Amino acid sequence: MTAEVKVEEKQVESEVVIAPPAVVPDETTVKSVVEGGEDEAVEETKVDDDESKPKGVEKSASFKEESDFFADLKDSEKKALGDLKLKLEEAIVDNTLLKTKKKESSPVKEKKEEVVKPEAAAEVEKKKEEAEDKVEEEKKSEAVAVTEEAVKAETVVAEEEEMKTAEPVVEKVEEETKEEVKAENVEEEKKTEDVVTEDTKEEAKAETVEEEEADESVDKDIELWGVPLLPSKGAEATDVILLKFLRARDFKVNEAFEMLKKTLKWRKQHKIDSILGEDFGEELASASYMNGVDRESHPVCYNVHSEELYQTFGTEKNREKFLRWRFQLMEKGIQQLNLKPGGVTSLLQIHDLKNAPGVSRKDLWVGIKNVIVTLQDNYPEFVSRNIFINVPFWFYAINAVLSPFLTQRTKSKFVVARPAKVTETLLKYIPAEELPVQYGGFKRDDDTSFSNEAVTEVVVKPGSSETIEIPAPEAEGTLVWDIAVLGWEVNYKEEFVPTAEGAYTVIVQKAKKMGSNEEAIRNSFKNSQAGKIVLTVDNVSSKKKRVLYRYRTKTEASS
């Protein structure tokens, strides 16, 4: 049973001159990087003639996780996975996975030779320069001693004589310099030998000391998130976990192995394996919670960032409590995953910044940065997408501060939506029946009115109205419906129209103007005669509107 939709074109008064029809090119959609600003982020050059017809809600195919099946990996990725498994197997079997070696370093001969030889060479060069300067000074003094009455020939002879006299002097000074440097070199070599001898003794002593190792043993049954880590056990989930670490480090085996070891040490140090049993009270419950799944069946985690929440950062004890609560929430989310090839192995994170503290609260953002970096380093590839909604203008400044601490892969999963585009953005990833009502969807707590009823979408063109008809073929039945218009700013009313001729139409909801931030409407009507519910959406704006609705008819037989 489907609802009928009627379209009625409405004349809108305007002073715009209507141009003759033009040839419309193929449909082109231009999207900004950010999901919506104050102005429209999406411009369309063509509107399909049949877009007002009922249809299923359009799904987003923008993200898709890489396959965890071994056969789907590239050859280089298969090799990296194999190498990591070998390293991990060896480390677990040899009980070296969590052991940290403390290496002793000692001076070596190279360092001494590097210091002594350049000094000796420089000393020789210095002595030679001093000898040449001395000869030059003697030449000048001898030249002054020559009288002005000497003839040119005598001057030349005198200069030759001086050169002959200077040569022995230079040779003598050079010999003296060489002898002096030689003596210094012998002394330096003697000192060097003494130093090297001492260093050799120290080095030998260091070598006799065994390398210290942290006393951390590893059981062969070691697990991470309930998955055995020893590759030889043959658990198919082991590959899924190891691929997460490899992807987080671009399939660099050594870096992925070090990341895994650090994660295991961090979990042991902070006792993460027992964190699920800790009680953090009710004050943090509304700040972050799991609710529903997205279109790819990822569990969705909503994080509400508010000033009140971050007031808990006041003391070191409260900051530690907040961090542990956040880690507990991540562990709870992982419990909902299916860590096997082909299973759902990550979460979708929603961050609501509507009431988040401003950029001036630097102390709070430092704490937030620590949370983000810790989650990134110890829960690799457990988030399929981070969607930031109700983003204020200062968010971009904070993002610039946090960006250097995030990997490129992490940043590539960010989606940002301004307040005007929150519902539209979320619906790309989360179906309306799974999206909480406060974000424009139909999901309500402890809801028993609907089960698996499909959500239908219609588009209302600018200056036109749509009527959605919900049939009520039997008397003594109850009709329930949900309806939402993205961005509302329309006139809306509800009526019950009986099938019998001459029967009066019943007004269920008077016509009223709907604001832009209205939540989805849920209503019901118990009919005493056959007929239909008519929902009318009158679009008085200059933009097209997307209408989502679903309904259910309850009769006495089905109740």
pLDDT digits (tens, 9 = 90+) for 349-376: 999 999 887 777 766 777 777 888 899 9
CB 404 within 8 A of CB 431: no
Sheet holding 477-485, edge to edge: 55-56, 456-460, 545-554, 477-485, 521-527
- What tokens appear for 208 in the block? 């006799």
Please tell me the distance from the alpha carbon of residue 197 to that of residue 350, in angstroms, as a whole number.
Answer: 66
- The string of DSSP codes covering 356-398 is ---TT-HHHHHHHHHHHHHHHHHSTT-EEEEEEES--TTHHHH
pLDDT of 114 over the 50 cut: no
- If you classify domain 4-14+25-56+435-554 with CATH, what class do you get? mainly beta
CATH of range 273-416; options 3.40.50.720, 3.40.525.10, 2.40.50.180, 3.40.640.10: 3.40.525.10
Tell me the pairing of strands 464-472 and 4-9: antiparallel
Let me know how long the chain is.
559
CB 442 within 8 A of CB 432: yes
Domain 273-416 in the same topology as domain 4-14+25-56+435-554: no
- Give the type of residue at 30: V
pLDDT attached to residue 386? 93
CA dihedral in degrees (445, 389, 305, 379; nearest 10)?
90
Mean pLDDT over 416-421 rounds to 92
Mean pLDDT over 116-132 rounds to 53
- What tokens appear for 178 in the block? 């060489």
pTM score of the predicted model:
0.69
Please tell me the distance from the alpha carbon of residue 448 to that of residue 340, in angstroms, as a whole number.
Answer: 32
Please tell me the distance from the alpha carbon of residue 484 to that of residue 521, in angstroms, as a whole number.
Answer: 6
- CA distances to 22, 122, 431, 448, 463 from 19, rounded to whole Å, are 8, 91, 40, 52, 17
pLDDT attached to residue 410? 86
Fold of 70-102+215-269: Helicase, Ruva Protein; domain 3 (1.10.8)
pLDDT attached to residue 556? 61
For residue 492, what are the contacts with CB-CB under 8 A and spacing of at least 6? Answer: 485, 509, 511, 512, 514, 521, 535, 536, 537, 538
Mean pLDDT over 444-449 rounds to 91
Please tell me the distance from the alpha carbon of residue 64 to that of residue 343, in angstroms, as a whole number.
Answer: 13
Give the pLDDT band of residue 321 (cuts 50, 70, 90): confident
Highest mean pLDDT among 131-140, 212-221, 237-246, 271-280: 237-246
Mean pLDDT over 399-424 rounds to 88
- Domain segments of the chain: what residues? 4-14+25-56+435-554, 70-102+215-269, 109-210, 273-416
pLDDT digits (tens, 9 = 90+) for 30-41: 333 355 444 443
Reduced to 3 states (helix: H, G, I; strand: E, B; else coil), residue 344 is coil
Structural element, H or E, at residue 502:
none
For residue 81, what are the contacts with CB-CB under 8 A and spacing of at least 6? Answer: 70, 73, 239, 242, 243, 246
- The string of DSSP codes covering 183-243 is HHHHHHHHHHHHHHHHHHHHHHHHHHSPPEE------TT-EETTEE--GGG--HHHHHHHH
Give the residue with greater pLDDT, 432 vs 3: 432
Q: Tell which residue, 166, 170, 53, has the closest CA to residue 461.
A: 53
- As a whole number, the mean pLDDT across the chain is 76
Q: Which residues pair with 352 in a beta bridge?
A: 304, 389
- The string of DSSP codes covering 408-477 is HHHHTTEEEB-GGGHHHHHHHHS-GGGSBGGGTS-B-TT--S-SSPPPEEEEEPTTEEEEEEEEE-SSSE
